[in-house]
Chains A and B, each alone.
Chain A
Amino acid sequence: GESVGLHLPTLSVQEGDNSIINCAYSNSASDYFIWYKQESGKGPQFIIDIRSNMDKRQGQRVTVLLNKTVKHLSLQIAATQPGDSAVYFCAEKGSDTGNQFYFGTGTSLTVIP
């Protein structure tokens, strides 16, 4: 089966610092990735996506980096704010997995004021 995992289950950062959340995947056929943010009691919120033909994509305060060689994905959040505290999931879809997204177990980010 698929293995989409996160290196660190919890991460604490000071407000204003940059955060980096990592994700490893095992399916070399994965060609589309999404980062989601999930706050307590809510559904996952789309943050940013990236396709396998790219290695970097930037959004507002967020950057996703994709390293297909080592099957690694990261989410960088600049100037982390208390509102960024949540659980972050990476999800991937492979060309051989139909329409199914596979999610990692999540990293809990806590921003310290």
Chain B
Amino acid sequence: ETGVTQSPTHLIKTRGQQVTLRCSSQSGHNTVSWYQQALGQGPQFIFQYYREEENGRGNFPPRFSGLQFPNYSSELNVNALELDDSALYLCASSLVSSRREQYFGPGTRLTVT
């Protein structure tokens, strides 16, 4: 166990709806990264939060947004859900944003119908 927790475990939404996913980082870790993992693929970087600010973003549209709170926990928000948003959403925590190992949570399985 990494100490990184995510909620909910599974979620089913309808196209056009909005969703919020949550992540609690490992104790002592101040950086949270979010990834999208489609079935049979490797994780793709969405963005990273450090000290409550976005600190890097991958190739995802603005309808993917996030927050980090003072306790370093984080939220991923996705607006106007599309069918292709169906995936496993992973968060990973690490210490600062430098080249350090990052530890993943179990993920949230999102299904968009």
Contact = CB atoms under 8 A, between A and B. Distances in A.
Contacts of A93: 99
Nearest to A99: B56
Nearest to A42: B106
A104 B42 contact: yes
B65 to A, nearest CB: 17
Given A31-B99, A43-B104, A44-B104, A99 B43 contact: no
A97 B74 CA distance: 22
Contacts of A89: 42-43
Given A32-B99, A51-B99, A99-B33, A43 B45 contact: no
Interface in A40-67: 41-46, 49, 51
Nearest to A89: B42
A41 B37 CA distance: 12
Contact of A103 (B31, B40, B43, B105): B43
Contact of A100 (B4, B58, B90, B106): B58
Interface in B1-56: 2, 4, 31, 33, 35, 40-45, 48, 50, 55-56
A102 B45 contact: yes
B93 to A, nearest CB: 11
B111 interface: no
A102 B45 CA distance: 7
B56 A98 contact: yes
Contact of B104 (A45, A99, A105): A45
Given A43-B90, A105-B42, A99 B97 contact: yes
Interface of A: 1, 4, 31-32, 34, 36, 41-46, 49, 51, 89, 91, 93, 98-106
Interface of B: 2, 4, 31, 33, 35, 40-45, 48, 50, 55-56, 58-59, 90, 92, 97, 99, 101-107
